[in-house]
């Protein structure tokens, strides 16, 4: 339940849902639980390019600011503006209404390096 | 391995997320920082503060000794049962620690100190005791502490103790019993709300918690972790040792000159404080709120006209204001010059506004506010 099979995961606790040549990105159930109440999201800029594993936005809980790393290289095509007024959507629905950004994937082969739900769950959520 | 408080098993049962806090395994939150914070502001909360240090001072010269090592005047504790907030300073006037002094009698005092500083404080106190007819004892590991804070604290304690504490005012304490166990109850706290701090023998603490908790729970109170303890104190602008004050900051720099008694003959750090009073300070603490979006954090730089003007020592999102708030040390000349200040957050300058006093109004219980 906590780690949907159809998503790919990173060791830094992001997920990506691939739809054609684009991917939707958010943070995992484990990540939002560890952070606690999320109170602020610094969204990336649409149109900006990021390399895989580079920080592209920031999710903040009351206690800490946490960088979000781009799971794959690409260009930001959309961001979840609802998080500006309702950052807690990430706590409430991290794989749904709490999505953070959409990216046009520049190198689909990078997807192969990401983790399956099972591997992510076993290795990074204990 | 971090140490466990007497309430460790209770925290686990309540689903706390535990962290290693200066060598102590303590809850950072139970249900969530914001929910806990708002519960304390609107109803009440229970905190396990058993990690805090306690040092007893006793003897013919206890008062003289405390007046030498502390910056406040202990003679102002003019009767038993009174409490004072004080600084333990080094020769440079910097805070070794900030603490509370409880007067049990003219010859007996209890100092309540920060957990992470207790051993250091004790060693410093031991080093400066020669020549005084006084003894000190570190009783930190015999003394458990629960704080009950929030507007419903008085009712909860009344129903638990079957005794009202209406005559116990802010910064006063009394001896009493809870769950049949001897306790010291003081009307103090670190939240700005009415409330109590309850000291008991280490092993008695679970029974005391168990006597308070069901009554507190029935009122809608919650167990509170260190996360909300920090947001509550910061909204009140109370300094945290290790963040906002340390061995390199003096009471004058920290906006705490009211805790210094300059009329005392001599005390450790006095010379520097006298100089600072005369010549001014090179840095001064300032409270600020975010005008732009963003949450300030400790270590972020404050910028004015493109130049670094200071550094943030504490920052958070205020759950009551839903706005970023913080404390920073600034160059006083730059404050005098006027002009806008910004905090650098994730590489961008965000506007801040300096504010005086607490960010949220205090609701402490004293004879005027009764």
Q: Which domains does chain A have, with CATH numbers?
A: 8-110 (2.40.50.100)
Q: What does the pLDDT look like over B34-44, one tens digit per residue?
A: 999 999 999 99
| CATH among 3.40.50.620, 3.40.50.12780, 3.40.190.10, 2.40.30.110 for B282-355 | 2.40.30.110
Q: What does the pLDDT look like over B102-116, one tens digit per residue?
A: 999 999 999 999 999
Render the burial of B141-152: b for 16+ CB within 10 Å, e for the rest.
Answer: eebbbbbbbbbb
Mean pLDDT within B114-138: 98
Mean pLDDT within B92-105: 98
User: Is A106 in contact with A75 (CB distance < 8 Å)?
Assistant: yes
**Burial of B16 (C-beta count, 10 Å sphere; 0-12/13-18/19+):** buried
Statement: residue B368 has pLDDT above 70: no
φ/ψ of residue A117, rounded to 5? -55, -45
Q: Best of B37, B231, B346 to disrupt the A interface by mutation (most A CBs within 10 Å)?
A: B346
The class level of CATH for B3-46+141-235 reads: alpha beta
CB nearest to A63's CB, from B33, B293, B294 = B33
Centre a 10 Å sphere on the Cβ of residue B189 and count the other Cβ atoms it contains.
27
Contacts 24+ apart (CB under 8 A), B131-134: B132/B59, B132/B61, B132/B64, B132/B65, B132/B68, B133/B59, B133/B60, B133/B61, B134/B57, B134/B58, B134/B59, B134/B60, B134/B61, B134/B62, B134/B64, B134/B65
Write out chain B residues lying below 8 Å of A65, CB-based: 295, 297, 346
The token duo for A84 is 């500006």
Which residues have a Cβ under 8 Å from the Cβ of B118 and sit 6 or more positions away? B52, B53, B55, B138, B140
Determine the pLDDT at residue B95: 98
Mean pLDDT within B280-286: 97
Within chain B, all domains assigned CATH 2.40.30.110 are found at 282-355
Determine the pLDDT at residue B93: 98
Write out chain B residues lying below 8 Å of A36, CB-based: 17, 29, 32-33, 227
Determine the pLDDT at residue B370: 45
Q: Which helix (H) or strand (E) holds B314?
A: strand B307-318
User: Is B195 in contact with B147 (CB distance < 8 Å)?
Assistant: yes
**Burial of B59 (C-beta count, 10 Å sphere; 0-12/13-18/19+):** middle
Are residues A62 and B34, on separate chains, in Cβ contact within 8 Å?
Answer: yes
**Burial of B243 (C-beta count, 10 Å sphere; 0-12/13-18/19+):** middle
What DSSP string runs through A69-100? E-SS-EEEEEE-THHHH-TTHHHH-TTTTT--
Cβ contacts from A onto B, under 8 A: 38
Task: Check residue B293 and report its DSSP letter.
Answer: S
B177: confidence class by pLDDT, cuts 50, 70, 90 = very high
Determine the pLDDT at residue B205: 98
Q: How far apart are the C-alpha atoms of B192 and B228, rounded to whole Å?
A: 13
Q: How far apart are the C-alpha atoms of B31 and B26, rounded to whole Å?
A: 14
Are residues A65 and B227, on separate chains, in Cβ contact within 8 Å?
Answer: no
Which residues have a Cβ under 8 Å from the Cβ of B214 and sit 6 or more positions away? none
Q: Are strands B3-4 and B24-29 parallel, antiparallel or unpaired?
A: parallel
Write out chain A residues lying below 8 Å of B319, CB-based: 62
CB nearest to A37's CB, from B32, B295, B297 = B32
Q: What does the pLDDT look like over B184-217, one tens digit per residue?
A: 999 999 999 999 999 999 999 999 999 999 999 9
Q: Is the backbone of residue B269 left (phi > 0), alpha (psi -120 to 50) or beta?
A: left
Within chain B, all domains assigned CATH 3.30.1360.120 are found at 3-46+141-235
pTM (2 d.p.) = 0.94
Mean pLDDT estimate for chain A: 96
Determine the pLDDT at residue B367: 67
The interface pTM score, or ipTM, of the predicted complex is 0.84
Q: What does the pLDDT look like over A61-110, one tens digit per residue?
A: 998 999 999 999 999 999 999 999 999 999 999 999 999 999 999 999 99
B338: confidence class by pLDDT, cuts 50, 70, 90 = confident
């Amino acid at each position: 339940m906590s780690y949907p099979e159809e998503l790919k995961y990173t060791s830094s606790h992001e997920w990506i849902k691939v739809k054609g040549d684009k991917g939707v990105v958010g943070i995992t159930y484990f990540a939002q639980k560890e952070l606690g109440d999320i109170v602020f999201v610094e969204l990336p800029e649409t149109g900006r390019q990021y390399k895989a594993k580079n920080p592209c936005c920031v999710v903040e809980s009351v206690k800490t600011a946490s960088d979000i790393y781009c799971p794959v290289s690409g260009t930001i095509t959309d961001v979840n503006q609802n998080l500006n007024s309702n950052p807690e959507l990430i706590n409430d629905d991290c794989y749904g209404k709490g999505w953070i950004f959409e990216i046009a994937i520049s190198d689909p082969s990078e997807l192969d390096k990401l983790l399956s739900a099972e591997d992510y769950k076993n290795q990074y959520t204990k | 391995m971090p140490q466990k408080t007497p309430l460790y098993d209770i925290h686990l049962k309540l689903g706390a997320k535990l962290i290693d806090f200066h060598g102590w395994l303590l809850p950072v939150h139970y249900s969530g920082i914001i929910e806990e914070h708002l519960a304390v502001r609107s109803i009440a909360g229970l905190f396990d503060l058993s990690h805090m240090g306690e040092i007893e001072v006793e003897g013919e010269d206890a008062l003289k000794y405390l007046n030498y090592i502390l910056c406040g005047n202990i003679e102002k504790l003019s009767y038993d049962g009174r409490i004072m907030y004080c600084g333990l300073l080094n020769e440079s006037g910097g805070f070794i620690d900030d603490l509370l002094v409880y007067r049990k009698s003219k010859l007996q005092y209890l100092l309540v100190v920060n957990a992470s500083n207790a051993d250091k404080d004790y060693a410093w106190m031991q080093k400066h005791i020669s020549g005084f007819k006084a003894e000190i004892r570190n009783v930190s590991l015999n003394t458990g502490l629960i704080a009950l804070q929030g507007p419903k604290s008085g009712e909860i304690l009344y129903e638990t103790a079957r005794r009202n504490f209406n005559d116990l005012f802010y910064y006063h304490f009394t001896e009493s019993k809870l769950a049949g166990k001897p306790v010291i109850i003081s009307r103090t706290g670190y939240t700005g709300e009415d409330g109590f701090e309850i000291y008991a023998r280490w092993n008695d603490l679970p029974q005391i918690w168990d006597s308070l908790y069901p009554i507190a729970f029935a009122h809608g109170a919650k167990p509170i972790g260190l996360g909300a303890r920090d947001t509550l104190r910061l909204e009140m602008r109370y300094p945290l040792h290790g963040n906002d004050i340390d061995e390199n900051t003096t009471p004058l720099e920290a906006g705490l000159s009211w805790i210094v008694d300059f009329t005392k003959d001599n005390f450790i750090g006095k010379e520097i404080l006298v100089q600072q009073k005369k010549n001014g300070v090179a840095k001064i603490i300032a409270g600020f709120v975010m005008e732009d979006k963003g949450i300030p954090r400790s270590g972020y730089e404050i910028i004015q006209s493109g130049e670094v003007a200071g550094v943030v020592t504490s920052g958070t999102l205020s759950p009551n204001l839903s706005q970023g708030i913080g404390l920073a040390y600034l160059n006083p000349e730059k404050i005098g010059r006027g002009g806008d200040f910004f905090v650098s957050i994730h590489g961008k300058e965000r506007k801040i506004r300096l504010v005086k006093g607490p960010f949220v109004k205090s609701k402490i219980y004293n004879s005027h506010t009764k």
